[in-house]
């Protein structure tokens, strides 16, 4: 049981024991509630605070139709195999309000209760007005009345497969439903199993750059709100309409403003009843070659309109990239674009495939508060966990631990990352929040990388060239290396990672490093457990990190 799991058990048990000992008097005593999770910023860095301390979300997102009680048995074994500490799973407006004005949170309660049994936290995804740009999760009775809950009108005057951000009838109902949901969470979840909520899903529109309905057209021709101009770095001055202010970007900026304002109101109403961290996810545009408006989903928090989202939807704490790119340059660029002074980096969806899973470390290097590959459950993939054997063979635990066998599956790289970082998650989150941690992933073109820590440089090299001093490193055949280095004291470091060599050099040119002590260990329950001192071949040319999840604590000196 890791420390998170231990605390999950401890708190209710402690409360029960306390009540039993003290009887009626204790029942009147206030039981200290866990603090509400929140995003905090200090010295320019962000943390997701859970139970009062920085928390790193090691997430996995379930498939879109897995948020049903009958499907959960196909979700939990995957979460266990992955060593994820947080499940991202949808909550469906169409399920919660199947009958207008009547809210049924029984499915939400089942998810929360089972999450507690499995000792994981939840990121609940509000599939409300928007899901991937469409209104498909609106309750059936709304979809049946498109005159009242109207769609966006495209350039040809036809309704698109996307809700209009100017439909106040839909917005009012989304506000009412989302608020009821948040109010229910507040009452039901005093344990704070739910640590963050996503508002809508990839809101915006595919296939139309904005709403062309008469009401939208009128606003498009009206002056741009002054705060939008300011946010986008445009000079204040005489009123200017969207086209004059933004040229070819006018329509997507206008749509972003309209969608963000709608989502922002939904978020603000929910936050007013229960102030959990809230975020909005984005279907990205290509960060290197964005293409013209129309070539990507318009309206959502794509990188070009983040400032608009920030001012139009201030109740949204984070705008987050859904990264499905395999090109390393593009992937890293996206991380940079969403790591901003006004926005913590959080990756709520990504492919998690072997070719990009190392960028989890790149995200850590940019102080990410969470990371969560998509589609990691056993609902639809060919690799289901083996059934428990009736004859005393491998039971459910062994089944959960067995790696899926399908070559297409994306589970193993994430599991490897989370197995390493999971037990040290609180230290990693804290050190990152304090600005003491740096992390990096292998770049095929750069066999050596350097991290700077005051008087020390940490050098990371990859591949098989680990021979003698001065040997030229060669990249790994597939670039899978990743390293995390955190400064624990002036000359003390925590090192973890895979498939690389980490060494240290004093910044002072005429000095040489020596390892005073290099300890190999493992983290258990959040505590570093000493295994052995490394020396000789294991340290003479640096610290070799292979594929096993180990942690190293080193003290350095110079001569």
Q: Residue numbers of the site for ligand DGJ (CB under 6 A)?
A: 64, 132, 201-202, 322, 349, 374
Cα-based distances in Å from 30 to 15, 52, 276: 11, 18, 22
Pairing assessment for the beta strands 194-201 and 121-131 based on DSSP bridges: parallel
Q: At what angle do helices 3-28 and 425-433 cross, to 10 degrees?
A: 90
Name the minimum Å distance from CB 345 to ligand DGJ: 18
Nearer to ligand DGJ (CB atom), residue 178 or residue 515? 178
Residue 529 sits at φ, ψ, to 5 deg, of: -110, 120
Name the minimum Å distance from CB 127 to ligand DGJ: 8
- Give me the residue label for tokens 């635990």: 397
* Closest by CA position to 318, among listed 364, 276, 360: 276
Nearer to ligand DGJ (CB atom), residue 202 or residue 443? 202
Nearer to ligand DGJ (CB atom), residue 59 or residue 473? 59
Residue 466 sits at φ, ψ, to 5 deg, of: -100, 15
Name the minimum Å distance from CB 126 to ligand DGJ: 12
Name the minimum Å distance from CB 159 to ligand DGJ: 22
Name the minimum Å distance from CB 263 to ligand DGJ: 14
Conformational region of residue 267, where left means phi above 0, alpha means psi within -120 to 50, and beta covers everything else: alpha
Name the minimum Å distance from CB 375 to ligand DGJ: 7
Nearer to ligand DGJ (CB atom), residue 97 or residue 202? 202
Residue 105 to residue 102: CA distance in whole angstroms: 10
Name the minimum Å distance from CB 348 to ligand DGJ: 8
Residue 520 to residue 426: CA distance in whole angstroms: 19
Name the minimum Å distance from CB 132 to ligand DGJ: 5
Name the minimum Å distance from CB 68 to ligand DGJ: 15
Nearer to ligand DGJ (CB atom), residue 322 or residue 427? 322
The answer for residues whose C-beta is within 8 angstroms of residue 91's C-beta and 6 or more apart is 67, 107, 108, 111, 124, 125, 126, 127, 181
Nearer to ligand DGJ (CB atom), residue 4 or residue 349? 349
Nearer to ligand DGJ (CB atom), residue 201 or residue 357? 201
Q: What is the DSSP string of 469-480?
A: TTPPP---SS--
Name the minimum Å distance from CB 340 to ligand DGJ: 21
Helices (H), 466-507: none
The answer for residues whose C-beta is within 8 angstroms of residue 56's C-beta and 6 or more apart is 48, 364, 368, 369, 370, 421, 425, 426, 428, 429, 432
CB 313 within 8 A of CB 267: yes
Nearer to ligand DGJ (CB atom), residue 90 or residue 479? 90
Pairing assessment for the beta strands 492-498 and 482-489 based on DSSP bridges: antiparallel
Nearer to ligand DGJ (CB atom), residue 93 or residue 456? 93
Name the minimum Å distance from CB 305 to ligand DGJ: 18
* Closest by CA position to 437, among listed 369, 474, 488: 488
Residue 357 sits at φ, ψ, to 5 deg, of: -60, -25
Instruction: Give me the sign of the Cα torsion angle 389, 391, 397, 401.
Output: negative
Element (H, E) at 60: strand 57-61
Name the minimum Å distance from CB 322 to ligand DGJ: 5
Q: Kindly compute the dihedral angle of the four CA atoms of residues 266, 268, 272, 278, in this order, to the nearest 10 degrees.
A: 90
Cα-based distances in Å from 26 to 10, 13, 271: 18, 14, 32
Nearer to ligand DGJ (CB atom), residue 200 or residue 442? 200
Nearer to ligand DGJ (CB atom), residue 132 or residue 379? 132
Name the minimum Å distance from CB 440 to ligand DGJ: 27
Vertex 327, ends 321 and 330: CA angle to 5°? 45
CB 87 within 8 A of CB 59: yes
Nearer to ligand DGJ (CB atom), residue 317 or residue 322? 322
Nearer to ligand DGJ (CB atom), residue 313 or residue 439? 313
Residue nearest to ligand DGJ (CB): 202
């Amino acid at each position: 049981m890791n420390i998170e799991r231990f605390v999950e058990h401890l708190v209710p048990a402690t409360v029960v024991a306390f009540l039993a000992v003290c009887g009626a008097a204790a029942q009147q005593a206030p039981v200290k509630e866990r603090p509400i999770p929140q995003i905090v910023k200090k010295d320019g860095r962000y943390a997701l605070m859970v139970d009062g301390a920085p928390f790193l979300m090691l997430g996995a997102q379930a498939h879109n139709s897995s948020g049903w009680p009958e499907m959960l048995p196909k979700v939990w074994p995957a979460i266990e195999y992955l060593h994820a500490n947080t499940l991202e799973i949808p909550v469906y407006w169409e399920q919660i309000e199947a009958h207008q004005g009547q809210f049924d949170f029984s499915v939400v309660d089942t998810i929360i209760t089972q999450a507690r049994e499995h000792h994981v936290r939840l990121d609940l995804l509000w599939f409300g007005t928007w899901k991937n740009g469409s209104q498909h999760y609106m309750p059936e009775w709304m979809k049946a009345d498109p005159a009242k809950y109207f769609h966006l009108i495209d350039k040809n005057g036809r309704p698109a497969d996307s809700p209009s951000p100017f439909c106040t009838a839909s917005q009012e109902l989304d506000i009412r439903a989302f608020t009821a949901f948040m109010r229910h969470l507040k009452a039901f979840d005093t344990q704070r199993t739910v640590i963050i909520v996503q508002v809508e899903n990839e809101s915006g529109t595919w296939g139309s750059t904005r709403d062309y309905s008469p009401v939208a057209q009128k606003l498009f021709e009206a002056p741009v709100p002054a705060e939008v101009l300011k946010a986008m770095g445009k000079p204040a001055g005489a009123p200017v309409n969207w086209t004059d202010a933004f040229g070819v970007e006018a329509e997507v900026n206008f749509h972003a403003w309209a969608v963000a304002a709608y989502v922002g109101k939904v978020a603000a109403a929910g936050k007013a009843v229960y102030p959990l961290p809230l975020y909005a996810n984005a279907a990205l545009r290509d960060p290197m070659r964005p293409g013209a408006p129309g070539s990507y989903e318009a309206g959502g928090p794509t990188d070009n309109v983040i400032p608009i989202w920030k001012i139009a939807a201030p109740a949204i704490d984070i705008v987050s990239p859904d990264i499905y790119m395999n090109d390393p340059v593009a992937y890293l660029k996206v991380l940079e674009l969403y790591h901003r002074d006004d926005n913590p980096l959080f990756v709520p969806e990504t492919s998690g495939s072997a070719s990009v899973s190392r960028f989890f470390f790149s995200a850590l290097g940019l102080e990410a508060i969470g990371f969560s590959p998509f589609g990691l459950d056993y609902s639809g993939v060919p690799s289901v966990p083996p059934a428990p054997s009736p004859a005393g063979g491998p039971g459910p635990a062994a089944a959960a631990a067995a790696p899926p066998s399908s070559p297409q599956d994306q589970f193993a790289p994430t599991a490897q990352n989370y197995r390493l970082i999971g037990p040290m998650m609180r230290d990693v989150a804290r050190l990152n929040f304090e600005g003491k941690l740096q992390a990096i992933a292998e770049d095929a073109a750069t066999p050596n990388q350097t991290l700077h820590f005051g008087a020390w440089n940490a050098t990371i090299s990859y591949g098989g060239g680990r021979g003698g001093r001065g040997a030229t490193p060669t990249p790994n055949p597939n670039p899978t290396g990743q390293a995390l280095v955190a400064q624990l004291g002036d000359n003390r470091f925590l090192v973890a990672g895979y498939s690389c060599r980490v060494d240290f050099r004093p910044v002072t040119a005429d000095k040489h490093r020596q390892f005073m002590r290099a300890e190999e260990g493992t983290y258990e329950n959040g505590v570093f457990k000493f295994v052995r001192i490394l020396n000789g071949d294991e340290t003479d040319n640096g610290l070799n990190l292979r594929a096993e999840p180990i942690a190293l604590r080193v003290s350095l000196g110079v001569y």
